[in-house]
Structure 1
Amino acid sequence: MHLNRAFAVLLASPALAIPVAQLEHPNIAGKVHGLIAQNNSTNIHNGTGAGRDQYRMYTGNGSPASGWPARSDWVSFEYIGNVNRRDRFAKNRAAMLSSCSRFGVPNNSEAEVSAIRDGILKVATETGVDSRFILAIIMQESTGCVRVHSTVGSHRNPGLMQDHDGAATCNDRGTVQHPCPASTIEQMIRDGTAGTPRGDGLLQCLSAAGSADVAAFYRAARKYNSGHAPEDLGTGGATACYASDVANRLTGWVSAASKCTL
């Protein structure tokens, strides 16, 4: 569920390597395989560089043929996620350090932002889900605030990725943890990526995407947000701009004005 939409309304370690097509239930541990897998999650220089902080609206089915970015257009994880002094594209990090203030809770510390980065890379290794995709969803859902509120619609959506009723949160019905433990941050990322006993994560959404190319990620993003992925990923329901937003985050968008009119 996209936090901005829900906020406006309201206010497991994987052990088995199962082919992605066989992942049908969130209780089944597994790993992404094939062309959409990230086989070396420690490679943080795996993209085009810094990208550009600009927004282009995408419509259609998520394929490069319909104008969506190819995976070769994605920004390197180093540029969109690295938090050390060698970082050459620190805007996402800066956003994480100031993102909690709009929720009325203490902002992230440097240590908490480092834990987000470490958690992403660890869970990417466990699941085979591209670390850049995990980070893009975190920024889309919570702007990286570790003390983000849980939202509630048909079910509870806690944590950095506003996942499907997971256990990990540093803001449990107003009880705020400060600092947020690194183990909790890691579990929030795992719940959103690998899924929970009650619902799908990015791993299962990629499984259900019905595509072996980059379109799988955009379709998975829309399914993660709304529970299904229509042929036109900008079709109304939940957050119509969600898949387009994620595609832009993957190519460098951070703070430029959105041009999505869906």
Structure 2
Amino acid sequence: MFFSTILAAASISGLAAAPPFPSEDVAAVSRALKTYISYGPNYQPNRTEPAGARILQAGETVTSSVAVTSINDNDGIGAGTDSYTMYWGDGSANDGWPTTDKWVSFVDMFNNNKVAMRTSCEGITDHNGNSVSNDSEDEIGKIWDAIEQVAQETYVDHRFILATIMQESGGCVRVSTTNYGVRNPGLMQDHDGDATCNSDISPYTVQTPCPPDVITQMVRDGTAGTASGDGLANCINESGASDASAFYKAARIYNSGSIASSGNLQDGIATHCYSSDIANRLTGWVLAAHGCTLDD
């Protein structure tokens, strides 16, 4: 499926009517975006750890009541508001976290984040220190395709997949691999996956354009898991929750490997703002001022 600057396809209900995002100041967007991407390590549960041992290979699916078994691109409240609210606590509505009926629609969320995707590779380099190209419109369209395909394979809400992509890489298909003891490659900085268009392994290949099958595999590795560690699907299962908190808890597990004994999603290791950031992305946050200072 091909998507031009204004995403449009006859097979996607309502998508042709989605407006293009206004023209942007590329430098300003790039400066803002770098503040909001988690470039540090992820500690997705290892396959050998008890929490991750239920599925010993890639190909995870959500098995709880929050599984999404059909695709609806107009599944939320519209575009939401580009603002940031700091969330504290355990991810529950009682602690003030947004329920799923407050989430934006996938089509609006994707179109609004295109402005960030177009500049997300600014400042990214290859192994030799050379700058990589920003995403093309076609590559951005292939990210859409990949999310939709993998969402259907795994029953993970496509908005949660997109939020994680924006958190981890800003949608840069040539994002670098981070490695703090475990390789985190690709769009979702997954657990030692194979798919990347900016390899950290000799001969350090950078692919421009990034092939559609590689883009899809990057999304699959982060969502369905790899041979080494869990993806979003199993993190949702491991959360043990059956409401919106499943996603916020899963985000913390994906980032830090576990939830702190306090139950509070801002506690523990790795990126303390992570779950709050994900909740805000799901309600419309793109480039507004970042309202979490826990990792400053």
State the TM-score, normalizing by the size of structure 2.
Answer: 0.77
1:46-65 equivalences under 5 Å are: 46-65=75-94
1:186 aligned partner = 216
Residue correspondences, number: 239
1:100 aligned partner = 121
CA apart distance, 1:4: 2.3
Q: Alignment partner for residue 245 of structure 1, among 249, 273, 277?
A: 277
Please state whether the residue corresponding to 2:223 is helix, strand or coil. Answer: helix
1:143-162 equivalences under 5 Å are: 143-162=170-189
**1:250 counterpart letter in structure 2:** L
Q: Does residue 5 of structure 1 match 2:40?
A: yes
**2:81 counterpart letter in structure 1:** R
1:17 aligned partner = none
CA apart distance, 1:98: 1.1
Check conservation: 1:23, 1:204, Cα contact below 8 A.
no
2:127 aligned partner = none
Do the aligned partners of residues 126 and 247 (structure 1) sit closer, same or farther apart at CA in structure 2, a change above 3 Å counting? same
Please state whether the residue corresponding to 1:208 is helix, strand or coil. Answer: helix
Looking at structure 2, the residues matched to 69 and 34 of structure 1 have their Cα atoms a distance apart, in angstroms, of 19
Q: Does residue 259 of structure 1 match 2:291?
A: yes
Check conservation: 2:106, 2:159, Cα contact below 8 A.
yes
Q: Structure 1, unaligned stretches of length 5 or more?
A: 8-20, 82-89
Check conservation: 2:52, 2:229, Cα contact below 8 A.
no
CA apart distance, 1:225: 0.4
1:25 aligned partner = 55
In terms of mean alpha carbon deviation, does 61-70 or 27-36 score higher? 27-36
Looking at structure 1, the residues matched to 192 and 288 of structure 2 have their Cα atoms a distance apart, in angstroms, of 32
Percent sequence identity over aligned pairs: 53
1:77-226 equivalences under 5 Å are: 77-81=106-110, 90-103=111-124, 104-173=131-200, 174-226=204-256
Check conservation: 1:164, 1:195, Cα contact below 8 A.
yes
Looking at structure 2, the residues matched to 47 and 170 of structure 1 have their Cα atoms a distance apart, in angstroms, of 32
Check conservation: 1:27, 1:197, Cα contact below 8 A.
yes
Backbone CA RMSD of aligned residues:
1.8
**1:198 counterpart letter in structure 2:** S
Looking at structure 2, the residues matched to 254 and 115 of structure 1 have their Cα atoms a distance apart, in angstroms, of 20
CA apart distance, 1:205: 0.4
Deviation string, structure 1 residues 133-159 (Cα, Å, up to 9, x no partner): 000000000000000000001210000
Larger Rg: 2
CA apart distance, 1:28: 5.8
Check conservation: 1:202, 1:220, Cα contact below 8 A.
yes
In terms of mean alpha carbon deviation, does 227-236 or 48-57 score higher? 227-236
CA apart distance, 1:31: 2.2
Do the aligned partners of residues 54 and 26 (structure 1) sit closer, same or farther apart at CA in structure 2, a change above 3 Å counting? farther
Check conservation: 1:162, 1:192, Cα contact below 8 A.
yes
Check conservation: 1:26, 1:196, Cα contact below 8 A.
no
Do the aligned partners of residues 36 and 22 (structure 1) sit closer, same or farther apart at CA in structure 2, a change above 3 Å counting? farther
Deviation string, structure 1 residues 7-44 (Cα, Å, up to 9, x no partner): 9xxxxxxxxxxxxx997234163422443111212x10
2:74 aligned partner = 45
**2:209 counterpart letter in structure 1:** P
1:67 aligned partner = 96
Deviation string, structure 1 residues 117-140 (Cα, Å, up to 9, x no partner): 000000000000000000000000
**1:260 counterpart letter in structure 2:** C
Do the aligned partners of residues 28 and 96 (structure 1) sit closer, same or farther apart at CA in structure 2, a change above 3 Å counting? closer
Looking at structure 2, the residues matched to 132 and 29 of structure 1 have their Cα atoms a distance apart, in angstroms, of 19
Check conservation: 2:195, 2:218, Cα contact below 8 A.
yes
Do the aligned partners of residues 251 and 112 (structure 1) sit closer, same or farther apart at CA in structure 2, a change above 3 Å counting? same
**2:272 counterpart letter in structure 1:** A
**1:175 counterpart letter in structure 2:** T
Q: Does residue 235 of structure 1 match 2:256?
A: no
